[in-house]
């Protein structure tokens, strides 16, 4: 058994204090491992960098010698000690869906960040004792009794985030015999009637498509912020979702709440139950290389949105918007010419989820979702509307998820080909494992379901007229995408340069305010690391030309049947 006491003294400093105690079992040395990454984000995070102090003692308070064996593995000399006690603190000042945060209003912990396990005793029981104010409530998928939590094994501990706060809102409901909790931290007046109606709808749709739910109880844990935010992290029987601003969650960003919630719920099957063989079991101490990020995130991104439509939570326009966003992300990123979606997923362990080197890789979310759309339509068309990607995922769930077996990329491909044909194989060969242009394949497969791709002008004026896209970062308009061989590219403008002036005037935010009356010739002033420079550019050229999905009138019974199957 491993006991933990969790406390804090000065919440504004963001340091959580931990005291770990356990029997030495007569071992002369005991190893303590802190994870280097967390499931759900396939990059090294090196959580040990947040530890400021670390000390070891025996049961009598005697100091024990220790040394670091690796960046996140400690070895303690425990000869003649019956018990070892580790005291350390952890800097918790990262408020997102997968990290840890402490302030005057809450203590929020993702245990995989800050709890140790003993490698040879990873399945031992953990007892957590929280020293928190009397008016605090604990939100977690693990029940607490008198601020104490008992949980069996580090894998389960790592999967169960905990929010302690006096400001929690909660609602409980039952769907298909499963108890669902929705917790809000930071949102005082949720529209529970609307939220429960929509959540029940997409939950029922997902359960019906798989046939059963992997767990008996599930918790949605929301962190609602006063500023713009969007992030979700999946766990076996819960998810944490960060969203804001709070003033717009019930309005402008309500579809974001639904979209990320449907996505994370689908992960309960896909990645938490249906898990790649390379992650069976997890090794928290190092990279767990795998190439099926296109399944873990591509299928989930595609299905999460599709489920919102087939459950009547999203209308056609809202669903189509999600697909067009995926297509836009694909088309503005020239990384699609350089690294396949399979290799891009593998390389998340190399450069994480940031943009990284310009035009190097693609997304296991947007680009992989387009691949899954193509696979889905190819299966539907080949089977004359009898089968779809839903059948593939259900078979994976029944044959691998429920049986607690890991699947390989060949397993996934073979099941897809079982329901599909050469068209299905072409998606793997040309797009998942290669960098062949998606557009001809998309056009062909969309026609199967009475859909087409139509030209669309980019709504971003700097993208459309000048060939670059900026992000507003720290009050600066920083360039993040440049179309290759555009006028700005050929005149020395680079990614990470800053746009300063438009026709001699400081750029406004949003940037559209400075381009309301765009001229045929426009002077743009940029700044790189060493200098400012001005270019006079034509605004009459067209860059970053996009395409969008559109429905056409189905001309034959097969298109109609395919479309019905696709959207059912």
Quick check: helix, strand or coil at residue 341? helix
Number of helices and strands (H, E) in the chain? 17, 27
Domain 461-538 falls under CATH 3.40.50.2000? no
With the CA atoms of 292, 293, 296 and 297 taken in that order, what torsion angle do they form, in degrees rounded to the nearest 10? -150
Q: How far is it, in rounded angstroms, from Cα 327 to Cα 72?
A: 40
SS3 label, residue 448 = helix
Domain boundaries defined on the chain: 2-166, 167-264, 269-453+554-568, 461-538
Distance of alpha carbon 101 from the chain centroid: 18
Q: Which residues contact 261 (CB under 8 A, 6 or more apart)?
A: 199, 202, 220, 232, 239, 241
Domains 269-453+554-568 and 461-538 share a fold: no
**Which residues, including other chains, have CB under 8 Å from residue 9's CB and lie 6 or more apart?**
17
pLDDT above 90 covers a percentage of the chain that reads: 94
Give the separation between CA 567 and CA 562, rounded to whole angstroms.
Answer: 9
Tell me which H or E stretch contains 54. Answer: strand 51-58
Using one digit for the tens of pLDDT, what is the confidence trace for 190-214?
Answer: 999 999 999 999 999 999 999 999 9
pLDDT for res 356: 84
- Residue 507 DSSP symbol: P
Q: Residues 325-360: pLDDT tens digits?
A: 999 999 999 999 999 999 999 999 999 988 789 999
pLDDT band at 59 (very low <50, low <70, confident <90, very high): very high
| CATH class of the domain defined by 167-264 | mainly alpha
Cα torsion angle, 165, 170, 176, 177, sign: positive
Tell me which fold the domain 269-453+554-568 belongs to: Neutral Protease; domain 2 (1.10.390)
Tokens coding 94 = 């990262």
Q: What whole-number distance in Å separates Cα of residue 399 and Cα of residue 394? A: 9
pLDDT at residue 516, rounded to an integer: 84
Can you tell me the mean pLDDT for 275-290?
Answer: 96
Look at residue 553 and tell me whether its pLDDT is greater than 80.
Answer: no
Residue 554 clears pLDDT 80, i.e. is over it = no
Q: Which CATH class is domain 2-166?
A: mainly beta
Alpha-carbon distance 133 to 147, whole Å?
10
Give the residue-averaged pLDDT of 296-312.
98
Pairing state between β 217-224 and 178-185: parallel
Residue 15 has φ and ψ, to the nearest 5°, of: -100, 125
| Peptide bond before residue 281 is cis, with ω within 30 degrees of 0 | yes
Q: What is the mean pLDDT of the chain?
A: 96
Per-residue pLDDT of 422-432, as tens digits, reads 999 999 999 99
Predicted TM-score (pTM) of this structure? 0.96
């Amino acid at each position: 058994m491993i006991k933990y006491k969790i406390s804090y003294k000065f919440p504004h400093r963001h340091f959580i204090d931990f005291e770990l105690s356990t029997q030495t079992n007569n071992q002369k040395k005991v190893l303590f491992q802190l994870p280097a990454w967390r499931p759900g984000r396939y990059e090294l995070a090196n959580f040990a960098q947040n530890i400021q102090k670390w000390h070891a003692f025996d049961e009598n308070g005697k100091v024990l010698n220790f040394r670091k064996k690796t960046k996140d593995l400690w070895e303690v000399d425990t000869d003649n000690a019956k018990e070892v006690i580790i005291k350390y603190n952890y800097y918790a000042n990262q408020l997102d869906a997968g990290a840890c945060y402490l302030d005057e209003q809450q203590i929020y912990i993702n245990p995989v960040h800050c709890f140790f396990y003993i490698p040879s005793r990873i399945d031992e029981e953990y007892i957590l004792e929280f020293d928190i104010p009397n008016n605090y409530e604990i939100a977690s998928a693990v029940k607490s009794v008198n601020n104490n939590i008992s949980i069996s094994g580090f894998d389960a501990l790592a999967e169960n985030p905990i929010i302690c706060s006096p400001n929690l809102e909660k609602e409980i409901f039952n769907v298909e015999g499963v108890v669902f909790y929705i917790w809000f931290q930071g949102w005082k007046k949720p529209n529970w009637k609307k939220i429960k109606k929509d959540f029940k709808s997409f939950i029922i749709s997902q359960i019906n498509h798989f046939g059963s739910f992997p767990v008996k109880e599930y918790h949605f844990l929301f962190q609602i912020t006063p500023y713009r935010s969007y992030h979700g992290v999946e766990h076996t029987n819960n998810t944490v979702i960060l969203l804001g601003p709070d003033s717009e969650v019930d309005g402008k960003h309500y579809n974001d709440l639904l979209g990320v919630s449907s996505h994370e719920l689908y992960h309960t099957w896909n990645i938490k139950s249906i898990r790649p063989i390379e992650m069976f079991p997890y090794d928290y101490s190092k990279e767990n290389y795998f190439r099926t990020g296109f399944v873990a995130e591509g299928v989930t991104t595609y299905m999460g949105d599709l489920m919102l439509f087939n459950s009547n939570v999203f209308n056609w326009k809202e669903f189509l918007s999600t697909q067009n966003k995926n297509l836009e992300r694909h088309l503005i990123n020239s990384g699609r010419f350089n690294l396949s979606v399979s290799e891009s997923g593998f390389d998340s362990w190399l450069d994480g989820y940031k943009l990284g080197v310009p035009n190097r890789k693609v997304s296991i979310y947007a680009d992989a979702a387009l691949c899954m759309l193509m696979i889905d339509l190819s299966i539907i068309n080949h089977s004359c509307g009898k089968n779809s990607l839903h059948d593939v995922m259900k078979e994976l769930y029944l044959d691998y998820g429920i049986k607690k077996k890991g699947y390989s990329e060949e397993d996934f491909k073979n099941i897809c080909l079982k329901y599909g044909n050469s068209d299905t194989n072409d998606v793997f060969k040309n797009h998942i494992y290669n960098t062949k242009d998606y557009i001809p394949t998309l056009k062909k497969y969309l026609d199967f379901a009475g859909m087409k791709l139509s030209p669309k002008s980019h709504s971003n004026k700097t993208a459309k007229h000048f060939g670059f896209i900026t992000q507003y970062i720290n009050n600066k308009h920083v360039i993040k995408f440049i179309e290759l061989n555009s006028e700005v590219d050929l005149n020395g403008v680079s990614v990470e340069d800053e746009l300063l002036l438009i026709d001699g005037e400081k750029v406004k935010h949003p940037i559209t305010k400075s381009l309301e009356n765009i001229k045929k010739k426009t002077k743009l002033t940029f700044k790189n690391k060493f200098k400012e420079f001005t270019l006079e550019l034509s605004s009459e050229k067209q860059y970053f030309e996009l395409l969008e999905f559109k429905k056409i009138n189905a001309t034959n019974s097969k298109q109609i049947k395919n479309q019905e199957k696709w959207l059912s």
